[in-house]
Amino acid sequence: MRTCAIVNPAAGGGRVRRLWSALAPRLRGMVPNLTVKWTTAPGDATALTRAAVRSGAERIVAVGGDGTLHEVVNGFFATDGTPLSPAPVLTPLACGTGSDFRRGLGVPAAPAALERLSTPRTRSVDLLRVAYTSAAGERAYRYALNVVSMGLSGRVVHRLQRDRGLLPFARLRYVEALLRVLAVHRPFRAALEVDGTPVPASALHLVAAANGPSFGAGLRIAPDAVLDDGRLDVTVLHDVSALALLGRLHHFYRGTHPSLRGVTTRRGRRLRIRPRQAAPVLVEADGELLGRLPATVETMPDALRLQY
């Protein structure tokens, strides 16, 4: 099987670079027909994957974190969003800090995950297709594996990408960024509907459309989400005080928040959300900042084949 490994040396705060000397010999021993491509800048993983698929790669091994996976998955599609064919299988070797998608799959991180390369087991999973508004004000499209969210989480991702943080653990960095954002965050106003049915909302902190159960380094935003059920799980956090939100944070990490007052959940195939304010509302996907509202998220059943 012709295999191309897309390696992000900066993933996991440089963890991939440190692990590569141990990973490479084992990887090459398991995969004789291996090509290795290194990323050097944002967007490289998408371009390199797209080139590998067009050159006949039958398997793409993504070596990095959730951000690397996000870019690699988008490389399975042309720039106009058309799926490239024939589509290869994707094997994730998670080495990142958050690793929420790996957590949802229930698989180990690299180097233990290398053993997955020798298994014949594959699984088709859904993807999320996101239509959003770019920084230039134009309609743009992206595919996501795990979670697409708007509002508070978008601002947290923006801060994380800007500051990167000095704390040693991903969850601590996320919580630190959340605390800093909450100090200045204000609820936003938007109209949202799931499969054409309006969801009652006035002022909102966050809206998340989930394919997998967790984001934010283990925050179980959609505890019942399933990767291959053809549905997205929508969680809406309405306007509550910052103090109340912090007091409830442990519920979100445990996945017990759906029963809380101020939280609404829905399941469906399509989420549409339009802003009712002039100030931009940020949209993120798989921990990567995309743009702003308005946005639409729809599920694409069985759109990706995984080996894990």
pLDDT digits (tens, 9 = 90+) for 94-142: 887 778 998 888 888 787 888 878 888 899 999 999 999 999 999 999 9
222-237 burial code (b ≥16 CB/10 A, e <16)? bbebbbeeebbbbbbb
Longest dimension (CA), the chain: 57
Looking at residue 164, its pLDDT comes to: 64
| pLDDT tops 60 at residue 249 | yes
CATH of domain 3-120: 3.40.50.10330
How much is the average pLDDT of 242-263? 92
Q: Which of 100-104, 138-142, 269-273, 274-278 has the lowest mean pLDDT?
A: 100-104
More confident residue, 146 or 120: 146
| 128-302 CATH, one of 2.40.30.170, 3.20.20.10, 3.40.50.720, 2.60.200.40 | 2.60.200.40
Pairing of strands 59-64, 3-7: parallel
Pair 209, 148: CB distance under 8 Å: yes
Percentage with pLDDT > 70 across the chain: 98
Return the pLDDT at 167.
Answer: 56
Is 131:140 a contact under the CB 8 Å cutoff? yes
The residue among 191 and 183 whose pLDDT is bigger is 191
Q: What is the mean pLDDT of the chain?
A: 92
For CA atoms 36, 66, 268, 152, the dihedral sign is negative
More confident residue, 13 or 26: 26
More confident residue, 167 or 239: 239
Interval 59-69 mean pLDDT:
93
Q: Which residue has the tokens 């969210």?
A: 149
Residue 198 has pLDDT above 70, yes or no: yes
Residue with more model confidence, 242 or 256: 256
Q: Domain extents for the chain?
A: 3-120, 128-302
For β-strands 263-268 and 232-238, DSSP reports them as antiparallel
| Cβ-Cβ contacts under 8 Å for 129 (sequence gap 6 or more) | 81, 141, 142, 143, 297, 298, 299, 300
In sequence order, which residues have a C-beta less than 8 Å from that of residue 251 and are 6 or more positions away?
257, 260
